[in-house]
Structure 1
């Protein structure tokens, strides 16, 4: 997912970002006169939950044909600007992209708040924090490095990250804070969840990069390690030189963005997506059905829609 500070050169935030996936875009995107919508979907399950519910309602309530395309965070902005996709439903804060496409080029418009606040941080399991409360201050992490060592961390404590395509600040933080830790990538959000659940099952300590909203907190309670306070000065320093980051991740109100042409000509679909606004609990409910109950995204969306009509009916345009 994406981290707003380094800008995410791609959630490029925590998020995602290396390969340019824009050529996977749908042929239906920006199709003149057709009732079609193409949604960009990031790889983490919360983003899939947004898209699943939006797709279900666009198709079943408004009569649109919807296509979804998985595009990494920064390339998604290019695709959105070019009309290859019509909407991004969960952006974790890319001020450089926003300035380029919304403010300067005016090819993308602000679609409003998603209703969910995103936060990235370092977390340990609650059972470990309860036994060792001082681990929740980063200044004490080196004290626990030996207990957090794994075969993959090369004699240092392990800081577990997800996909290497996510742009995180973790390597810079470990270096700049003088921590005896090694960042180890699980490979994907799903692989990271599998490792966290195995650690929890065995009641082993772990330190992991993680984020809210995320349904896994319902299953594996975790406590956040306090990093140095996030400041505007740290933000600016990180924008100029991501390797200099030495403060906590920001808290980011997640936003939606639409292609400017789609905003003007997308009719009820564009108005619906601007109205789409739900809570962390709503997103986690759908995400857990997809990730934990293994429901197809459409079935998870259908169940949520049937159980929450008072929420989504307010999104439908008049």
Structure 2
């Protein structure tokens, strides 16, 4: 009887210890939002997610959403984080509405820029030049409605008195139309940004913006929900450290995806090839 009792107590202790280990190992799944069609958003988010999964031990669910929904999701806690907050200008309105409901972990990319982009072969040098040039068919090819660059382009059309129509589409549709026009050496003007793979593929330039509608260089920031610090403290620490060293570094991932690699595969391969950089972010 005594032996039986000892065995029962021992079994209970083992089970309790096992349950304790299981609880200690259990980590919540994190929901991270990104804008599908934004090459930098896709590349940055997938690399960050791969690091969080591999090195920090969290399951990550990536949610492709529109810009406004991404901000709203983080502000309400339905999304734990996003790595695509363009500040201070492009997403200035979203930041003003939500700054008390989110946590800014700082930039993951510096020297970002938005504006109107044309091929180098066209004559226009400034946004104001579009007013007199009829070769563009009074049209600017845009991306998804509601994104920061689209809101600023609506303002630019008014401020410069262009009388142009802003055509909403997607990042992929915009680059497709740009590519078609480029192949025919036709005038075309699109909304765009740096970092983006299209600058490696074609010879392009930003139109000068003397009225500073689009602002100067910006940063792309990582922003989390108010609950993230307590929900996943290691991830919050990682987001403070995670930053691309240059446009060429993120460009390696963007180009791989553009050339047909699946985003998760491109991210996994980049993480495997750059252990020292990953270590800097996660130590």
User: What TM-score bracket applies, with the shorter chain setting the length?
Assistant: 0.7 to 0.9
Map 1:143-154 to 2 at 5 A. Answer: 143-145=132-134, 147-149=135-137
SS at structure 2 position matched to 1:61:
helix
Match of 2:4 in 1: none
Shift of 1:192: 0.7
SS at structure 2 position matched to 1:92:
strand
2:59 aligned with 1:42, yes or no? no
Residue number among 160, 176, 183 corresponding to 2:166 in the alignment: 183
- The answer on whether the counterparts of 1:79 and 1:85 sit within 8 Å (CA) in structure 2 is yes
Q: Larger helix proportion, structure 1 or 2?
A: 2
Q: Distance in 2 between matches of 1:164 and 1:110?
A: 24
Listed one character per residue, the Cα deviations across residues 148-198 of structure 1 (whole Å, up to 9, x for unaligned) are: 22xxxxxxx32221223434232332233222533233x111011111111
Q: State TM-score, norm by structure 1.
A: 0.72
Match of 1:60 in 2: 54
Match of 1:19 in 2: none
2:153 aligned with 1:170, yes or no? yes
Shift of 1:118: 2.3
Shift of 1:57: 1.4
**Superposition CA RMSD, Å:** 2.2
Listed one character per residue, the Cα deviations across residues 194-215 of structure 1 (whole Å, up to 9, x for unaligned) are: 1111111112221222111111
Residue number among 65, 70, 76 corresponding to 1:71 in the alignment: 65
Residue number among 272, 284, 289 corresponding to 2:238 in the alignment: 272
Q: Distance in 1 between matches of 2:81 and 2:75?
A: 10
Between 166-175 and 189-198, the greater mean CA deviation after superposition? 166-175
- The answer on whether the counterparts of 1:35 and 1:63 sit within 8 Å (CA) in structure 2 is no
Q: Residues 228, 54 of structure 1: CA spacing in aligned structure 2 closer, same or farther, 3 A cutoff?
A: same
Match of 2:121 in 1: 127
Q: State TM-score, norm by structure 2.
A: 0.80
SS at structure 1 position matched to 2:57:
coil
- The answer on whether the counterparts of 1:116 and 1:213 sit within 8 Å (CA) in structure 2 is no
Query: Aligned residues, how many?
Result: 252
Q: Distance in 2 between matches of 1:136 and 1:68?
A: 39
Q: Distance in 2 between matches of 1:95 and 1:211?
A: 16
Q: Residues 252, 201 of structure 1: CA spacing in aligned structure 2 closer, same or farther, 3 A cutoff?
A: same
Considering only CA atoms, is the larger Rg found in Structure 1 or Structure 2? Answer: 2
2:187 aligned with 1:205, yes or no? yes
Q: Distance in 2 between matches of 1:96 and 1:202?
A: 38
SS at structure 2 position matched to 1:76:
helix
- The answer on whether the counterparts of 2:142 and 2:174 sit within 8 Å (CA) in structure 1 is yes
Residue number among 107, 110, 113 corresponding to 1:113 in the alignment: 107
Shift of 1:101: 4.1
Q: Distance in 2 between matches of 1:208 and 1:120?
A: 11
Map 1:97-112 to 2 at 5 A. Answer: 97-103=94-100, 107-112=101-106
Shift of 1:269: 2.1
Match of 2:139 in 1: 158
Q: Residues 66, 252 of structure 1: CA spacing in aligned structure 2 closer, same or farther, 3 A cutoff?
A: same
Match of 1:23 in 2: none
Match of 1:136 in 2: 125
SS at structure 2 position matched to 1:81:
helix
2:78 aligned with 1:84, yes or no? yes
Structure 2 unaligned blocks of 5 or more: 1-25
